[in-house]
């Protein structure tokens, strides 16, 4: 790829306008309901200029920064999953026709998304969901069409969040996976600019007529320092060494009972997680019985119905649900998809109403690893 270039803050509007002209629906961070969420944006005026987020276990708030950074926060409560794998989608409609009925499949439209401000951990999460939905034997046609023309404008993180641990998961903070454009936001004295890396040919054609200039070595050095500083200030750490074996060998560890006493089985962690992909289907009919619909909806390993099979629930305790969730994320996912199911975004920690922190849970299990203690 070419040497990185530089775009000034104001010229970012030209990038968004160009994407819109080419038919992309631009989605980016914006403020709504006292949170920084991802939603439709049409210019940089929609971005959360001068705002940051404060995240901790069971804690989230936005607050003013003392500068005008556009991406000076960490991750949004909702991930990009909501656009590629929507929480609810109608699969088909059935219409009664005399003594028969007709199935009408849902028509799918390519939304041609351009995501602005995707973090490195979030790119990794999208790559994980790609494996689940479009790279396996069963293709999810809704995900496939939503993902088809996705254009990603990634952002290297300029600060570490209180619950982030992407360094432990090797998923950030520097964008190191597939992207179209990757920006590093630099604010120094009276300058506000972005160092831009190009990751695809179509991105090259998008930026061709914008006012970009080649980055100077000093600007590249500053950008690298910003990312290094983020990496050195992670909010959390997760020791992943032999994690699969440790969790599998400790399925009867007393910590599962202890965490179950705190866990509310609310499923927030799975809803907020950018890689969780489980869903259920529901059929609904109208009062006449002439019209029925089948809907696919996000589901969670924390709901009782999720494991109901004739006659009972496979996981009927909070202990078994939490253990399933964490061992799938951090252990059996590796066998299933050849990677961890966790990208270290920290959402499950921030959005757990009782502040359960999977990095703490793993550390507690390691500290009194039953197999190691039994072997002493």
> Which spans of this chain sit near ligand SF4 (rule: CB under 6 A)?
263-269, 272-275, 302, 329, 342-348, 352-354, 356
What six digits make up the tokens of 257?
């009972």
Q: In angstroms, what is the minimal distance from the CB of 163 to ligand SF4? A: 7
What six digits make up the tokens of 280?
């259920």
Rounded Cα gap, residues 343 and 128, in angstroms: 9
Rounded Cα gap, residues 328 and 335, in angstroms: 10
Strand, helix or coil for residue 27: strand
Nearer to ligand SF4, 6 or 269 (CB): 269
Q: In angstroms, what is the minimal distance from the CB of 376 to ligand SF4? A: 31
Nearer to ligand SF4, 194 or 302 (CB): 302
Contact between 327 and 248 under an 8 Å Cβ cutoff? The reply is yes
Strand, helix or coil for residue 314: coil
> Do the strands 113-118 and 151-155 form a parallel or antiparallel pair, or are they unpaired?
parallel
On the CB side of 17, how many CA atoms lie within 13 Å of its CA? 8
Nearer to ligand SF4, 117 or 341 (CB): 341
Nearer to ligand SF4, 126 or 153 (CB): 126
Q: In angstroms, what is the minimal distance from the CB of 43 to ligand SF4? A: 30
Nearer to ligand SF4, 5 or 129 (CB): 129
Query: What are φ and ψ of residue 51, in 5° steps?
Result: -115, 150
Q: In angstroms, what is the minimal distance from the CB of 340 to ligand SF4? A: 8
Q: In angstroms, what is the minimal distance from the CB of 348 to ligand SF4? A: 3
Nearer to ligand SF4, 24 or 256 (CB): 256
Return the CA Rg of the chain.
23
- The Cβ of residue 119 has, within 10 Å, a number of other Cβ atoms equal to 28
Q: In angstroms, what is the minimal distance from the CB of 214 to ligand SF4? A: 36
Nearer to ligand SF4, 20 or 339 (CB): 339
Q: In angstroms, what is the minimal distance from the CB of 332 to ligand SF4? A: 14
Contact between 67 and 56 under an 8 Å Cβ cutoff? The reply is no
Q: In angstroms, what is the minimal distance from the CB of 262 to ligand SF4? A: 7
Q: Is the dihedral of CA 209, 210, 216, 221 positive or negative?
A: negative
Rounded Cα gap, residues 296 and 211, in angstroms: 45
How distant, in Å, are the alpha carbons of 21, 94, 111, 113, 318 from that of 27? 14, 33, 11, 7, 36
Nearer to ligand SF4, 121 or 215 (CB): 121
Nearer to ligand SF4, 298 or 302 (CB): 302
Rounded Cα gap, residues 235 and 230, in angstroms: 10
- Residue 332 is given by DSSP the state I
Nearer to ligand SF4, 52 or 318 (CB): 318
Rounded Cα gap, residues 94 and 98, in angstroms: 13
Q: In angstroms, what is the minimal distance from the CB of 54 to ligand SF4? A: 17
Contacts of 143 (CB under 8 A, 6+ apart): 84, 85, 129, 133, 134
Q: In angstroms, what is the minimal distance from the CB of 231 to ligand SF4? A: 17
Contact between 323 and 296 under an 8 Å Cβ cutoff? The reply is no
Torsion of CA 124, 320, 138, 309, to 10 degrees: -160
């Amino acid at each position: 790829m070419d040497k990185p270039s530089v775009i000034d803050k104001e010229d970012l509007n030209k990038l968004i306008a160009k994407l819109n002209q080419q038919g992309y629906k631009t989605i980016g961070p914006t403020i709504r309901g006292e949170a920084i969420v991802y939603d439709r944006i049409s210019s940089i005026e929609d971005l959360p200029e001068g705002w940051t987020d404060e995240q901790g276990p069971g804690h989230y708030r936005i607050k003013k920064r003392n500068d005008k950074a556009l991406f000076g926060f960490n991750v949004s409560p909702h991930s990009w999953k909501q656009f590629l794998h929507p929480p609810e989608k109608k699969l088909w409609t059935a219409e009664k026709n005399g003594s028969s009925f007709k199935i009408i499949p849902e028509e799918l439209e390519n939304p041609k998304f351009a995501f602005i401000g995707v973090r490195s951990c979030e790119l990794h999460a999208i790559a994980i969901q790609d494996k689940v939905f479009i790279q396996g034997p069963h293709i999810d046609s809704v995900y496939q069409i939503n993902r088809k023309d996705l254009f990603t404008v990634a952002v290297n993180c300029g600060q570490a969040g209180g619950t982030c641990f992407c360094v432990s998961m090797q998923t950030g903070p520097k964008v190191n996976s597939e992207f179209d454009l990757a920006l590093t936001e630099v604010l120094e004295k009276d300058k506000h600019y972005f160092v831009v890396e190009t990751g695809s040919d179509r991105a090259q054609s998008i930026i061709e007529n914008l006012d970009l200039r080649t980055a100077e070595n000093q600007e590249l050095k500053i950008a690298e320092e910003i990312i290094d500083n983020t990496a050195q200030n992670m909010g959390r750490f997760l020791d992943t060494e032999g994690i699969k074996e440790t969790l599998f060998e400790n399925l009867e560890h007393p910590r599962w009972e202890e965490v179950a006493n705190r866990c509310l089985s609310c499923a927030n962690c799975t809803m907020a997680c950018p890689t969780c992909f489980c869903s259920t289907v529901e059929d609904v009919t109208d009062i006449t019985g002439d019209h029925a619909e089948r809907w696919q909806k996000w589901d969670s390993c924390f709901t009782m119905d999720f494991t109901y099979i004739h006659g009972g629930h496979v996981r009927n305790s909070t202990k078994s649900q939490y253990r399933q969730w964490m061992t799938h994320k951090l252990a059996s996912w590796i066998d299933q998809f050849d990677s961890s199911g966790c990208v270290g975004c920290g959402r499950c920690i921030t959005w757990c109403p009782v502040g359960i922190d999977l990095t703490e849970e793993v550390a507690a299990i390691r500290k009194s690893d039953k197999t190691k203690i039994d072997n002493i």
